[in-house]
């Protein structure tokens, strides 16, 4: 299993297109917090990816804002913000991670592995942000920009969907138009550290199957859930 993971990490590094001078940074970016659970932070021998995830979130936001400003010089702040949100949210990061085949390269606890951690969108999305931070720390902003341009190429090609600016209002209007009560949102899970939490929120509309989605904040997760339900029901 160790050899299989080592091969997966090497293959991932090739797909990223960045030759790490410090290979421990990539390994750390792929190490889930579950590996050290139950051990005091000060005595842990293996460092997880939560701090890298925190940094990677900011690096990604900068790179997306930079790219959108260059690609859409006439767009107003509202349109740029909506597009930025679509490119940096957990769902986008998870899709990028799946395309890069991050799952097999992850270092997880036995328990997290048994519960399907290698395929969990939240786990993959967090690792993608951590990987971007690792590249930034290893090679600087230019190296991170190169990985971003390659890894997010498909996301950048995908047009922004209508209704993303205020998806909760769009869902509310749709529900009322169907003669249903207002949508209800509930946090069903909160994982990660205090500085880099992941919220899983379920949105329910009477007469419609509930849908769950994830985000870095409750508000982001609620928006993602609203978008998911609107897409599933064919509204957008």
Q: Enumerate residues 6+ apart whose C-beta is below 8 A from 195.
A: 50, 54
User: Of the residues 126, 129, 220, 222, which is catalytic?
Assistant: 129
Active site residue 138: no
Catalytic residue among 27, 48, 53, 57: 57
Tally of CB atoms within 10 A around 13? 16
Q: Is 22 a catalytic residue?
A: no
- Report, as residue numbers or ranges, the catalytic residues: 57, 129
């Amino acid at each position: 299993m160790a050899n299989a993971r080592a091969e997966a990490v090497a293959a991932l590094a090739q797909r990223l297109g960045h030759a790490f001078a410090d290979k421990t940074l990539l390994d750390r970016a792929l190490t889930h917090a579950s590996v050290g659970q139950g051990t005091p932070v000060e005595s842990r021998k293996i460092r997880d990816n939560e701090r890298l995830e925190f940094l990677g979130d900011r690096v990604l936001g900068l790179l997306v804002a930079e790219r959108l400003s260059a690609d859409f010089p006439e767009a107003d702040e509202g349109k740029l913000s909506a597009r930025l949100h679509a490119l940096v949210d957990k769902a986008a990061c998870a899709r990028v991670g799946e395309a890069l085949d991050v799952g097999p390269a992850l270092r997880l606890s036995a328990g997290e592995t048994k519960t399907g951690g290698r395929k969990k969108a939240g786990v993959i999305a967090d690792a993608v942000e951590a990987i971007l931070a690792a590249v930034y720390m290893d090679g600087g902003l230019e190296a991170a920009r190169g990985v971003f341009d390659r890894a997010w190429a498909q996301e950048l090609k995908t047009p922004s969907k209508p209704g993303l600016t205020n998806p909760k209002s769009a869902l509310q209007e749709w529900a009322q138009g169907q003669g249903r009560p207002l949508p209800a949102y509930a946090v069903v899970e909160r994982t990660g550290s205090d500085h880099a939490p992941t919220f899983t929120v379920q949105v329910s509309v009477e007469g419609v199957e509930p849908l769950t989605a994830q985000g870095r904040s409750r508000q982001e997760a609620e928006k993602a859930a609203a978008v998911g339900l609107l897409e599933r029901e064919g509204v957008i």
